[in-house]
Amino acid sequence: MGRFFEALKAGIAGFNDGNEPGDYEVAGRPVRCPHCGHQKFVSGHALLNTKGRTFFKLDWTDPSASTLICAECGRVEWFIQEPDRVQS
């Protein structure tokens, strides 16, 4: 799984800040991986296609979403708002 994550990280390095995994909060609550319970994530951004935005009634938003990728298992969490990075 470590190699998988390194490959994933290398793959997304082009469109995130290349930052190290860290703790994040959304709406004042710590983000926790629902799969493995890990709390370190790598942030990134992904474009939403028009179809998806219409489905979620988000046509008024900027056409991008924030993603947090679990540093442990690689699960991707999506947020419309920018997660706050928690300084440790």
Which of the 8 DSSP states describes residue 18? -
Q: Which H/E stretch holds residue 79?
A: strand 76-79
**Site size for Zn ion, by CB under 5 A?**
8
Among 7, 10, 13, 36, interactor with Zn ion by CB under 5 A: 36
Binding residue for Zn ion, selected from 33, 65, 68, 69, defined by CB under 5 A? 33
Residues 42, 62, 28, 23, Cα dihedral to 10°:
10
Q: Does 38 bind Zn ion (CB under 5 A)?
A: yes
Q: Which residues bind Zn ion (CB under 5 A)?
A: 33, 35-36, 38, 70, 72-73, 75
